[in-house]
């Protein structure tokens, strides 16, 4: 089955997770007793969107094999800082940050990772919204934001060709276009500014394509952009 995961829901339980997880719900509410409650792949806690769950051992093995052989096609939507004017392919091996084990970075000896990005639309704040959201800043602070070109954003399709942890986020940080409201990779100051108008990381699993485990028929499932992210885009104007 496929689920439309809301933001704020942890997929897998771990030592630091105290709240109910998606795995808990699948086991308790749906009676799925497979490994990891049939969850085939992960989404970060605050990432929303479509996620696949196997209900039988055969389906689990089949889908896991498709992921391992990179047959499954995933498409995410993200709002990134800055202007991305053309398609970009990022090839940068990813590993844990030696200085912070909770983060990942591009490393020469990391695991191979490839992500393609396609710009959908460039955005900027209207003057009214920009001044309204940051009305407590003085003129010097406002000019600093303008010099940093904080006012420019790009809605992009993210097409990961590999499945490394935080891959989309790490690669966008690597090319200096971090995702809006990404506390982990966007920088403390910038992400705090983002949180004034975007409630959580602007990253959504919009589409997944796979061969159906029983019929072999190519199947694509889509999840529309949720209301909180639609509302965020509504504060911006197309360029």
Q: Which residues are catalytic?
A: 44
What confidence tier does 16 reach under pLDDT thresholds 50, 70, 90? Answer: low
Check residue 126 and give its pLDDT. Answer: 86
CA 150 to chain centre: 20
The closest alpha carbon to 158, from 47, 64, 27, belongs to 47
- 145 φ/ψ sector (left φ>0, alpha ψ -120 to 50, else beta): alpha
Q: Are β-strands 114-125 and 152-160 bridged in parallel, bridged antiparallel, or unpaired?
A: antiparallel
Give DSSP secondary structure letters for 57-78.
HHHHHHHHHHHHTT--EEEEEE
Contacts of 28 (CB under 8 A, 6+ apart): none
The pLDDT mean for the chain works out to: 94
* The model's pTM: 0.94
78-106, pLDDT tens digit by residue? 999 999 999 999 999 999 999 998 999 99
CATH topology of domain 2-238: Pseudouridine synthase (3.30.2350)
Could you identify the residue written with the tokens 């920088």? Answer: 187
Report pLDDT digits (tens) over 143-199: 999 888 999 999 999 999 999 999 999 999 999 999 999 999 999 999 999 999 999
What residue has token string 């003129």? 139
């Amino acid at each position: 089955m496929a689920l439309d995961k809301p933001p704020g829901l942890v997929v897998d339980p771990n030592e630091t997770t105290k709240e109910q997880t998606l795995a808990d719900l699948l086991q308790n509410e749906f009676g799925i007793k497979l490994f990891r409650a049939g969850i085939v792949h992960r989404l970060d806690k605050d990432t929303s969107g479509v996620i696949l769950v196997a209900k039988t051992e055969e389906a689990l093995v089949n889908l896991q094999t498709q992921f391992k052989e990179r047959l499954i096609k995933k498409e995410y939507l993200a709002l990134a800082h800055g202007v991305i004017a053309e398609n970009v392919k990022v090839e940068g091996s990813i590993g844990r940050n030696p200085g912070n084990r909770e983060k990942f970075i591009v490393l020469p000896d990391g695991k191979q990772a490839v992500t393609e990005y396609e710009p959908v639309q460039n955005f900027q704040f209207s003057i009214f919204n920009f001044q309204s959201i940051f009305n407590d800043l003085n003129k010097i602070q406002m000019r600093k934001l303008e010099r940093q070109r904080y006012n420019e954003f790009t809605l992009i399709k993210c097409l990961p060709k590999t499945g490394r942890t935080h891959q989309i986020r790490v690669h966008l940080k690597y090319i200096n276009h971090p995702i809006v409201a990404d506390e982990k990779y966007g920088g403390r100051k910038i992400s705090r500014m983002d949180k004034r108008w975007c409630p959580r990381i602007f990253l959504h699993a919009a589409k997944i394509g796979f061969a159906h485990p029983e019929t072999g028929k190519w199947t694509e499932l889509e999840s529309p952009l949720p209301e909180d992210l639609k509302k965020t885009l509504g504060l911006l104007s197309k360029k």
